[in-house]
């Protein structure tokens, strides 16, 4: 049992971007910097980070909709294996509350079920509703989730043959105010340009993907502190999606390709302007779980410096989500690497040890 195991973690403990210690201990499943009297049962050595955050991940979901508990467990274990020990679930039709009772599975911060416009999202995923019902559904999912609500902000409009915004400004403004009143933050899936200004001016807290950011909207995001979770490993699939839709929706296809072509510039420009950027994979729809290291590598590829790309999945992401890192007394969720991830974020792909709630699980 974790309660009786004393773990000694030594080497370089990366407590924060500017704070490095030589060692920590785990006693009773929690981090301490006071050497315990008992000799350690286990010693691990290397470069230690707080458990990684996958800020956009779907547990309990696959390409066709909700999955059974055994499949959801497998997904969560795949995330754990790469060291993703805190997941912001960006929308799921499954009830995965049982995971909260499992000390051996990653912690999940839920956004309830996606809220989309009728026939404007992937089948079997979302509540599909019209704007007049938006406030009521947002209130409902705010109560069901763990402090987040997820909207689908834009999607292909088959009549227009292109991506268009899903929600009128007045309704979305009222819905976001209602979520905030209930203590929940709101995020939205947005690929295109045209929904962003309304959502940000309506008070939204975060945008997923955010491929449609432009030099007009980036300053607005920066000024209001609206975060983005680019999910570049998912954006990588745009050309394939564009090919598939080409014959029926050529305009949409071209649009998707443009968003894809400028994706790294978009992320880099947002970062340079001071927009908070976090690492999320969008695992669980069509993408596999366990891709958070690949996403951090993509953030680096976009030009984000290594320490900030790491922060997007560790220190910064945990602060943003209101969860502790490696401070005294925090649950011992940490990942140990054989080399310094600040020198090369590529080391995230092969953790030496994964410790969750004080137990070595990988």
Residues lying near Zn ion in the complex (CB under 5 A): 90, 282
For residue 96, the minimal CB distance to Zn ion (Å) is 15
Report residue 184 CA to chain centroid gap: 16
In 120-155, which positions are buried (b, 16+ CB within 10 angstroms) versus exposed (e)?
A: bbbeebbbbeeeeebbebbbbbbeebbbbbbbbbbb
Q: How far is the CB of 105 from Zn ion (least distance, A)?
A: 20
CB of 58 to Zn ion, least distance (A): 6
Which residues lie below 8 Å from residue 104, measured CB to CB, with a gap of 6+? Answer: 80, 356, 357, 359, 361
* 318 in Cβ contact with 324 (< 8 Å): yes
Residue 287 or 309: which CB sits closer to Zn ion?
287
For residue 225, is it left (φ>0), alpha (ψ between -120 and 50) or beta? left
Reference 154, options 256, 35, 9; nearest CA is 256
Exposure string for 235-257, b = 16+ CB within 10 A, e = fewer: bebbeebbeebeeebeebbebbb
| Rounded to 5°, angle at Cα 76 from 75 and 80 | 120
Distance CA 27, CA 358 (A): 7
DSSP string over 224-264? HT-EEE--HHHHTTHHHHHHHHTTT-HHHHHHHHHHHHTHH
Q: Which residue sits closest to Zn ion, CB atoms considered? A: 282
CB-CB neighbours of 362 under 10 Å: 16
- DSSP per-residue string spanning 154-212: EEEETTTTEEEE-S-HHHHHHHHHHHHHTT-EEEEEE-SSTTHHHHHHTT--EEEE-TT
Q: Are 349 and 331 in contact (CB under 8 A)?
A: no
Of 52 and 90, which has the nearer Cβ to Zn ion?
90
CA distance 118 to 24: 52
- Spatial distance between the Cα atoms of 10 and 25, rounded to a whole number of angstroms: 8
- Least separation, in Å, of the C-beta of 285 and Zn ion? 6
């Amino acid at each position: 049992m974790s309660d009786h195991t004393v773990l000694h973690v030594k080497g370089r403990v990366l407590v924060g971007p500017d704070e490095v210690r030589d060692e920590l201990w785990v006693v009773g499943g929690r981090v301490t910097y006071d050497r315990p009297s008992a000799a350690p049962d286990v010693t691990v050595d290397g470069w230690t980070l707080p458990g990684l955050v996958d800020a956009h991940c779907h547990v309990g979901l696959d390409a066709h909709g909700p999955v059974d508990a055994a499949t959801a467990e497998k997904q969560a274990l795949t995330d754990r294996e790469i060291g993703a020990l805190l997941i912001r679930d960006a929308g799921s039709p499954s009830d995965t509350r049982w995971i909260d009772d499992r000390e051996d599975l990653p912690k999940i911060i839920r956004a309830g079920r996606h809220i989309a416009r009728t026939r404007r999202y992937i089948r079997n995923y979302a509540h599909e509703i019209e704007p007049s019902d938006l406030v009521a559904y947002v209130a409902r999912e705010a109560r069901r989730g763990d402090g987040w609500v997820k909207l689908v902000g834009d999607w292909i409009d088959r009549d227009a043959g292109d991506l268009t915004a899903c929600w009128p400004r007045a309704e979305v403004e009222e819905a976001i105010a209602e979520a905030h009143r209930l203590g929940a933050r709101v995020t939205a899936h947005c690929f295109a340009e045209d929904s962003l200004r309304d959502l940000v001016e309506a008070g939204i807290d975060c945008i997923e993907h955010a491929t449609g950011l432009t030099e007009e909207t980036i300053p607005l995001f920066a000024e209001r502190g609206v975060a983005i979770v680019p999910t570049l490993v998912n954006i990588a699939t745009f050309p394939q999606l564009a090919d598939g839709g080409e014959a029926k929706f050529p305009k949409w296809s071209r649009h998707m390709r443009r968003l894809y072509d400028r994706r790294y510039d978009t992320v880099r420009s947002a970062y340079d302007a001071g927009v908070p950027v976090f690492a999320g994979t969008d695992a669980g729809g069509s993408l596999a779980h366990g891709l958070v290291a690949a996403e951090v590598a993509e953030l680096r590829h976009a030009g984000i410096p290594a320490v900030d790309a790491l922060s997007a999945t560790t220190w910064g992401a945990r602060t943003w989500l209101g969860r502790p890192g490696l401070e005294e007394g925090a649950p011992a969720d940490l990942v140990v690497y054989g080399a310094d991830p600040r020198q090369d974020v590529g080391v995230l792909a092969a953790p030496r040890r994964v410790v969750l709630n004080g137990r070595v699980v990988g």
